[in-house]
Amino acid sequence: MSKPLTDQEKRKQISVRGLAGVENVADLKTNFNRHLHFTLVKDRNVATKRDYYFALAHTVRDHLVGRWIRTQQHYYEKDPKRVYYLSLEFYMGRTLQNTMVNLALENACDEATYQLGLDMEELQDMEEDAGLGNGGLGRLAACFLDSMATLGLAAYGYGIRYEFGIFNQKVVNGWQVEEADDWLRYGNPWEKARPEYMRPVHFYGRVEHNPDGVKWVDTQVILALPYDTPVPGYRNNIVNTMRLWSAKAPCEFHLKDFNVGGYIQAVLDKNLAENISRVLYPNDNFFEGKELRLKQEYFVVAATLQDIIRRFKASKFGSTEVVRMDLTTLPDKVAIQLNDTHPALAIPELMRILIDDEKLTWDTAWDITVRTCAYTNHTVLPEALERWPVDLFQNLLPRHLEIIYEVNRRHLERISALYPGDHDRLRRMSLVEEGGQKKINMAHLCIVGSHAVNGVAQIHSDIIKDTVFKDFYDVDPQKFQNKTNGITPRRWLVMCNPGLAEVIAERIGEDYIRDLSQLKSLLKFVDDDAFIRDIANVKQENKLKFAVHLEEQFKVKINPNSMFDVQVKRIHEYKRQLLNCLHIITLYNRIKKEPNKAWTPRTIMIGGKAAPGYHTAKMIIKLITAIGEVVNNDSVVGDRLKVIFLENYRVTLAEKVIPAADLSEQISTAGTEASGTGNMKFMLNGALTIGTMDGANVEMAEEAGEENLFIFGMRVKDVEALDKKGYDALEYYNRIPELKQAIDQISGGFFSPGEPDQFKDIVKMLMCHDRFKVFADYEDYIQCQEKVSALYKNTKEWTKMVIHNIAGCGKFSSDRTIGQYAREIWGMEPSLEKIAAPDDPLAI
């Protein structure tokens, strides 16, 4: 019998990883050793695994640099319209493997490191995640950067270089504990500081109105230092830029501004200014009105707009010479996309520049601003909408407040003319919310100041038009669009699931990686036994690999033949991890009641971070771990049911768990999840979905056929009807014995014997003020889960359903999403053509 292939030999056979030419491998080895010696100043005898990672990263980065310079040169020569994606979050994860995939270097690097006696996967594991985001919104920005480069758009991502990203989550005695994410501790080989493009940003001060214009004076100045990270397109030689700003105190800053007596204290106080880029706010779908956060929002916007206008004026490569003076053509050359309301200050800031600095009239400036800016809405949850207190604004950004007041005056004048005497409508539509404390409604500012407003899935865009922003839709219907989210198939298939990518490529070729709609041609293999077997085998391999990972990292043993039932996402009441908990308890009670029945074994995995200040979310984590303690130690249940809390869920863990999942839990209350993107990742990686008709689940069911998803629960119209009638949790509790049993166990201390009323807050919430109506969907969810268990027993039918799902994934590529943004919002044309590779003997 031939001996089994090693992991490295298996990887070598995967063609989507690129060719490993002999010259390539030799050159990579030479460059690796050169970097180890000259860049890292290390001898092979004393080098650590981390040194080897850095040597490999620099070796791969060398392949980016020529293309990066060439791409930027290409843009200067062609002078295309440029798009600026402004986001407070870019959840990038690791860069090394993604770069190798997009440059077709993966097999060559694997072979080179192997010949050097190293294991490439071990080196990849040395890289820190760039966790500069909370969840969906930040990860979407990262996928968009990949697609914009792949589609040849002259695009720039602009954000903040947080010194500390999303916290690392530890679970101690079942409770979440946060740890600072010091991701830059060992340096970041992918970024390049650009001190020559440092920009001043102003805060505080006062406004002077003179006959010759308006001046914002006596301000405090902070410097914004840019760090550039290359963003390679997929095998097209294009490398775009993500530019992240870091806060620096100017040298003269403190003595002058703070009138500090001592020199030492003045130097120490530089920290205060530099705190702006210190840490990412860890809230997902929740607004926290802190001054530091408003400073961050203005900081990124002010630095970025200076950069945009500098680049617009100097259109020669490497030249600072002013070529364009007429800013009325700005919208022909610049598109600014606002990722949620966080960068909303771009609207008043652009107005300030055009009026105060460039001396344009209000009407001209406003026309330019509206035609340049577009706004993406990401949530309809009221607690997530940004509403900044006016007094905070007045103090921090006095000129911007004046501009917002004037925008509002003109806006309300227009509404008044359209609806004479309708004072309630004026109140509803104002950018300034009156009441106890006057507040600026940032979403209203974005809608009024943009030429396009989009939701992120069809159902979400409809909700926006019908309810949340209906008044605005009534006056400007042409502004409102839908752009259903997508994910990059490079990271979320080729990179994280090469086995599946290869099985697909063997049937339909490799072009689908650039054009995911080609997956629909897999439908012709839905009855092909060999294909069905291949798909099932890849899944089983991924499950075994993940089981090994769990055992190595967390010392938990799981049954790889059980169904992997996975819910990974931020912990939030609207995402209803509690509904999942109720199913676990119900399943547990049923197994205990009939231990001899042939139950479908399940390993239920739940993972995700809770915002540090979100008490209920932290209690939910404790409940999940408490249920796990009971279930996992019950010998009657054995390995027919296991509950695992996946600690520190992040991009890198997603890349491991998603390819291994059988069942994807997407169970938010209908009308609350704007889109979801994890749902798409599971679908593309061969998991089946149990979900409500919410967010992009609706379109997933449309694409794959509703019969190929496990859809349950209330639709939006049912939720609305229940709201009208009044949701009464007690009615369900009294009517459904298994629900009552589960709730009584939680409240009676069955899962917390040492502290019987540990979960009283959760029970009280579920019984008395559950905005998300967990009990209303319980019965249908349990019944739907029974169908899941039944189908899982029939591997062939299950796998055929999986194939229908993978074949229906084409729409959910971020390439499709970005193509629509480009054509329908930015006025740009995507292109799949390659540009010439730089004169690089290693260019492939």
Residues marked active site are found at 378, 569-570, 575, 677, 681
Instruction: Give the contacts of 13 (CB within 8 A, at least 6 positions apart).
Output: 5
Q: Cα–chain-centroid distance for residue 436? A: 35
Q: Collapsing DSSP states into helix, strand and coil, what is residue 154?
A: coil
**d(Cα 568, Cα 571) in Å, to the nearest integer?**
9
Residue 279 Rama label (left phi>0; alpha psi -120 to 50; beta): beta
Amino acid at the residue 670:
A
Contact criterion met (CB below 8 Å) for 225 and 243: no
Instruction: Give the contacts of 155 (CB within 8 A, at least 6 positions apart).
Output: 82, 83, 84, 85, 145, 148, 149, 240
Closest by CA position to 821, among listed 445, 486, 428, 362: 486
Q: Cα–chain-centroid distance for residue 265? A: 40
Contact criterion met (CB below 8 Å) for 425 and 419: yes
Cα–Cα–Cα angle for 474, 476, 477, nearest 5°? Answer: 70
For 249-348, strand residue ranges (E) read: 334-339
Q: Collapsing DSSP states into helix, strand and coil, what is residue 476?
A: coil
Residue-wise burial string across 241-279, b where 16 or more C-beta atoms lie within 10 A, e elsewhere:
bbbbbbbbbbeebbbebeeeeeeeebeebeeebbbbbeb
Residue 603 Rama label (left phi>0; alpha psi -120 to 50; beta): beta
Q: Cα–chain-centroid distance for residue 307? A: 25
DSSP state at residue 2:
P
Contact criterion met (CB below 8 Å) for 651 and 131: yes
Q: Cα–chain-centroid distance for residue 171? A: 23
Closest by CA position to 591, among listed 557, 629, 556, 642: 642
Residues forming a β-bridge with 16: none
